[in-house]
Amino acid sequence: MARKRPKGVVGVGLACLTSTVLGRTEHVPTTEDYPEHVVRRTSFTAGGDLGWRISALETPRDTPAPWKIVVVTGSPSWAEYWAPVLAALPQDREMIVVDRPGFGASEPADHVPDLEVQALALSPLLKVAPGQKILLVGQSYGAAIATLMARRGSRRLKSLVLLSGYYGEPGPTARWLLDAGAKAMALIPRDLRHAVLEVSGQPERLAPVRDALRRLNLPIHVIHGDKDDFAPLDAAERLVAETRSRRPMRLATVAGADHFINDGPPEALLATLEECLPRRRPLLPEGLRLPEVTLPDLGRLWASIIPARATNLGGEPVRVNAGGTG
């Protein structure tokens, strides 16, 4: 069984310090917990000719799965915390979870405050094999970036999930962490420093995100825990109530869940994501049936049109039977 990743403010803080001292980009190396045919570290070149190398975790598949689940993580952005979910994914699904620019093993070394630039950098994630469809998941701070990625358009993108989405309204725990981080900026590890910088500057960059939510013409699912003290549930409720989207946004509340829904049982989260996959609608409402139609006997219909006796080209009489043959 894979070891649990560090949890809580103290645990994650110590893991960051330890990783920095040891020169690691992962707090618990995924290679020690999962074989490469289950969870594999990969990388790709950022979009927009930015030249960065972006790191991610993926589920290898011998043949492309019908659905590709793309996860844009929060802040700090560490794909490794999704490793148990990746490992639990069924074979008819595939998933890729990214370390966003400026975090984990991804470039650049500095933080990237511009949401539009991050969306551009991560746009290669929306490339798929022929026939594949995409479920795009934006977690916490990544929800805003995923929204901008969706706005860029892809006919293979079928649904957008905003998981514990953060939109500039910190809860009590997040507010305390931001205040403490700002005071200790010179002492905290790089990833935590980048998280404080980008989250603090997010509110002034949200106008394009809210505009994108209004314009998107695809299902949008807002999944939020009712115990979330980083990005409060009432902020998510206001977002849904105030956004006049082209399609109604769906709000699903997870009872007892905090901000880190991916830390819970992987099967529960995967079941939640499955509910966000569009289903083929029946042609008729349930209970409604087309009337039965009896097709006419074509032979008798033909016989009623052609006279009972006809003459062939040689002048000899030809009898037309009920089957329509002479």
Please write the tens of the pLDDT for every residue from 100-158.
999 999 999 999 999 999 999 999 999 999 999 999 999 999 999 999 999 987 789 99
Residue 9: CB atoms within 10 Å: 11
pLDDT confidence of residue 291: 62
pLDDT confidence of residue 9: 66
**What tokens does 307 get?**
């006279």
- Pairing mode, if any, of strands 67-72 and 93-98? parallel
pTM for the model: 0.83
Residue whose token pair is 């949890």: 7
User: Which range is least confidently modeled, 55-64, 211-220, 288-297?
Assistant: 288-297
pLDDT confidence of residue 10: 66
Whole-number percent of the chain with pLDDT over 70: 83
Round to whole Å and give the CA distance between 232 and 153.
29
Give the highest mean pLDDT range of 13-22, 152-161, 189-198. Answer: 189-198
Q: Between 11 and 40, whose confidence is greater?
A: 40
Q: Whole-number mean pLDDT of the chain?
A: 86
Question: Confidence band (pLDDT; 50, 70, 90) for 305?
Answer: low
| Residues 277, 159 contacting (CB under 8 angstroms) | yes
Structure letter (DSSP) for residue 80? G
Residue whose token pair is 């490794």: 80
Round to whole Å and give the CA distance between 225 and 259.
6
φ/ψ (deg, to 5) at 38: -105, -55
pLDDT at 247 exceeding the cut of 70 = yes
Mean pLDDT, residues 263-284: 84
Question: Confidence band (pLDDT; 50, 70, 90) for 325?
Answer: very low
Task: Identify the helix (H) or strand (E) that includes residue 251.
Answer: strand 250-254
pLDDT at 317 exceeding the cut of 70 = no
**170: nearest Cα among 198, 190, 191:** 198
pLDDT confidence of residue 253: 95
pLDDT confidence of residue 295: 56
Residue whose token pair is 């040891």: 22
pLDDT confidence of residue 281: 55
How is the chain split into domains, by residue range? 33-274, 296-326
Q: Which residues contact 133 (CB under 8 A, 6 or more apart)?
A: 66, 67, 68, 156, 157, 158
pLDDT at 204 exceeding the cut of 80 = yes
pLDDT at 206 exceeding the cut of 90 = yes
pLDDT confidence of residue 304: 64
- Residues facing residue 56 across a β-bridge: 42, 98
Round to whole Å and give the CA distance between 95 and 242.
31
Residue 62: CB atoms within 10 Å: 7
pLDDT confidence of residue 72: 98
Q: Which amino acid is at 314?
A: G
Q: Which CATH superfamily is domain 33-274 in?
A: Alpha/Beta hydrolase fold, catalytic domain (3.40.50.1820)
pLDDT at 213 exceeding the cut of 80 = yes
**What tokens does 285 get?**
């409402």
Q: What is the dihedral of CA 192, 55, 99, 104, to 10 degrees?
A: -20
